[in-house]
Amino acid sequence: MKHVIQTIFLIFLGCCSNVIFLELIVRPYPGSGNIITFAQFLFIAIEGFFNYFKWGSAKRVVPIKDYTIMVVMFFLVSVINNYALNFNIPMPLHMIFRSGSLIANLVLGMIILKRRYSLRQILSVLLITFGIVLSTYASSQSFNKEKAKKNIQIDEPKPDIVRWTIGIIMLVFALIVSAIMGIYQETLYAKYGKHPQEALFYSHLLPLPLFGFVGKDIYHHAQLFNQSTWLPIFSNVGVPIMWAYLFCNMLTQYFCIRSVFILTTECSSLIIVFKKEVFVIKMTQINAVDTGHEELIHDAQLDYYGIRLATCSSDKSIKIFDVSNNQQRLIAELKGHEGPVWQLSWSHPTFGSLLASCSYDRKVLIWKETTSSGLPPQSNTTGGTQYSVIYEYDKHTSSVNTVAWAPYEYGLMLACGSSDGSISILSSTGDGRWTVKKINDCHPPGVNALSWAPAVLPQSSDETGVQGITGEPVKRFVSAGCDCLVRIWKFREQDDGWIEETHLDQHNDWVRDVAWAPTFSFHKDKIASCSQDGHVYVFTRDTRSSTNWECIQIGTHFNDVWSVSWSLTGDILAVAAADKVSLWKVGLDGKYQCLTTPHTSASSAGSPSVNSTMDSAAGETGNIPLMAT
């Protein structure tokens, strides 16, 4: 009994801490289940190879065919449970069926093993199952009320009773196989004796080849983990923080699952199921998202009039919502990228409803609203407003991280920044063709953000002046990159090319975002930047008297700062850091003061005057808050 109590203590210690690290991973990357499961299986298999298998010298007691049968059943249960969601099965109903393993173990234990359970055990099964059903139902009702309160409308497919019935049959089948698997494992122990370490090793080693079916998804999330925040360990040595979380998750999962396998040698399958169902009750309380994206949301942009909201995600899709009249209604879903979509940009309405998108697949797509029939199948999947791809640019050799349309005064012009360190400027000729000017080695480790300067006429014909000499607006934009620099670029007419005008080196880590203020003053330039170093700076210069930029720090230090964005008048700066967006405005003393710090889950009616990407907020909650200032 003492050994059992110690094992149960290790289960709760390992499993509870494992849930903490699991949440740290799945909150920013909800679709990372495959890489987490693969890492856990690989870690436990490697540990077992050294610790139990003794480099291949240990003799196996249970025949390999018996372990293979158990692994096949486990794989079937996992695949069928996940695939059933494709048959219009609501998530609350899915969770309720998953919780039915208690009753299934009870019934099959009576039928197959001829067991007789006490009235107390039967009542315990019924009470726990009822509690799971009740908590799942309460979660779904809470989500529905939240949607009604926010007036969210999503065009959902009509119910299909045939598909729904197939999904239910799949869940019932998975439920029965899961119960049989527990009883089969118990039978193996009765026949061959109790060998928890051997069972742990082979049950994690044999399924490894099956992960080849999801290898592409595992590789994709490994790339996303590589781009997470850097966690310094000592001196100049460190790791991306998501890999650190994954390692801790593997370690705690090892203690959890090892203790569970030891407990199975001491207790029946019904008791073990009790332990697993306690965690199901907790996990059903996770908040749901409103956008319908299946993975992390990277960007959200309102169009010029503030009536359409476009969002993009790691699920490779773009969604467009009608947010006029205090509503949020999905009107289009665009699928054309083959990797996570990082950023979006709406063009000026002078050129129609154009939306540019960039992705990890190294492509830039330009979408246009159209009423034409015969659209490509990837254009729209909702049957509502139609968008089609009018241009595809694929000349970058690495992920394209940022896109930004130039002021309409420059014509239809788009800037694109890539992890290959280069920036491409795409210009429409007006007849359906596009010309490209590429600036190589802008930020050698990679370009993270771009922002155009407002189109302002020069005030002087002095060639050495910062405003230029042609009488036409001087084209400028600012870029930020992994070289810790903010660079300002200028188009020189006589060379018909782009040159670096200057660079700003106040940051000491990757610069995540940069924004040139849309000021209406002819004599002031203003740029905001934020970095992984936790600092936000505003750079200003007087274009009449100086080419030097003055630097002001905003606040003191921000945690996980990702984005900066100016209001339309250029006097209020929004800073997205961690799970909050703060608004800043310069005071009479020349210092920036915080106006308010609303939590990102709050929502305000009306079109916001701050068009912020709010990456960290959207990524964690799946909600896109609309703020009014």
Beta-carbon contacts of 182 under 8 Å, excluding residues fewer than 6 positions away, are 101, 105, 269, 272, 273
- Under CATH, what is the fold of the domain 447-629? Methylamine Dehydrogenase; Chain H (2.130.10)
User: CB pairs under 8 A, 24+ apart, for 443-446?
Assistant: 443/417, 443/479, 443/480, 443/481, 443/482, 443/483, 443/485, 443/487, 444/483, 445/421, 445/481, 445/482, 445/483, 446/398, 446/401, 446/418, 446/419, 446/420, 446/421, 446/481, 446/482
pTM of the predicted model as reported, rounded to 2 decimal places: 0.52
Beta-carbon contacts of 447 under 8 Å, excluding residues fewer than 6 positions away, are 401, 402, 417, 418, 419, 421, 422, 423, 479, 480, 481
Please tell me which of 114-128, 243-257, 339-353, 446-460 the model is most confident about, judged by mean pLDDT: 339-353
Please tell me which of 14-23, 61-70, 526-535 the model is most confident about, judged by mean pLDDT: 526-535
Judged against a pLDDT cut of 50, whether residue 612 lies above it is answered with no
Q: pLDDT, tens digit, for every residue of 362-391?
A: 999 999 987 644 444 444 545 567 899 999
Q: Where is pLDDT greater, at 170 or 94?
A: 170
**Closest C-alpha to 261, from 67, 73, 29, 526:** 67
Helix (H), strand (E), coil (C) string for 248-266 = HHHHHHHHHHHHHHHHHCC
Measured distance CA(446)–CA(433) in Å, rounded: 28
Decide if 296-420 and 447-629 have a common fold.
Answer: yes
**Do 616 and 560 meet the contact criterion of CB atoms below 8 Å apart?**
yes
The CA distances from residue 376 to 155, 161, 367, 596, in Å, are 21, 30, 12, 45
Both tokens assigned to 96: 């309720």
pLDDT score of 294: 83
- Under CATH, what is the fold of the domain 296-420? Methylamine Dehydrogenase; Chain H (2.130.10)
Provide the pLDDT confidence category of residue 261 given band limits of 50, 70 and 90: low
**Do 434 and 426 meet the contact criterion of CB atoms below 8 Å apart?**
yes
pLDDT score of 143: 46
pLDDT score of 168: 77
By residue count, the chain amounts to: 629
Strand partners, 321: 309, 330
pLDDT score of 25: 77
Q: Where is pLDDT greater, at 2 or 38?
A: 38
- When mean pLDDT is compared across 43-52, 158-167, 214-223, 489-498, the lowest value belongs to 158-167
Q: pLDDT, tens digit, for every residue of 154-195?
A: 444 455 677 777 877 887 787 788 778 777 777 776 777 767
Judged against a pLDDT cut of 60, whether residue 139 lies above it is answered with no
Beta-carbon contacts of 71 under 8 Å, excluding residues fewer than 6 positions away, are 202, 203, 206, 207
Q: How many CA atoms lie within 13 A of 62 on its CB side?
A: 26
User: CB pairs under 8 A, 24+ apart, for 280-288?
Assistant: 280/95, 280/98, 280/99, 280/132, 281/131, 281/132, 281/135, 282/19, 283/19, 284/92, 284/95, 284/132, 284/135, 284/136, 284/139, 285/135, 285/139, 287/143, 287/621, 288/91, 288/139, 288/143, 288/622
Buried b (16+ CB within 10 A) or exposed e, 206-225: bbeebbeebeebbebbbebb
Listed by start position, the domains of the chain span 2-149+161-283, 296-420, 447-629
pLDDT score of 402: 96
**Do 525 and 543 meet the contact criterion of CB atoms below 8 Å apart?**
yes
pLDDT score of 96: 59
In the chain, count H helices and then E strands: 12, 27
Measured distance CA(317)–CA(187) in Å, rounded: 47
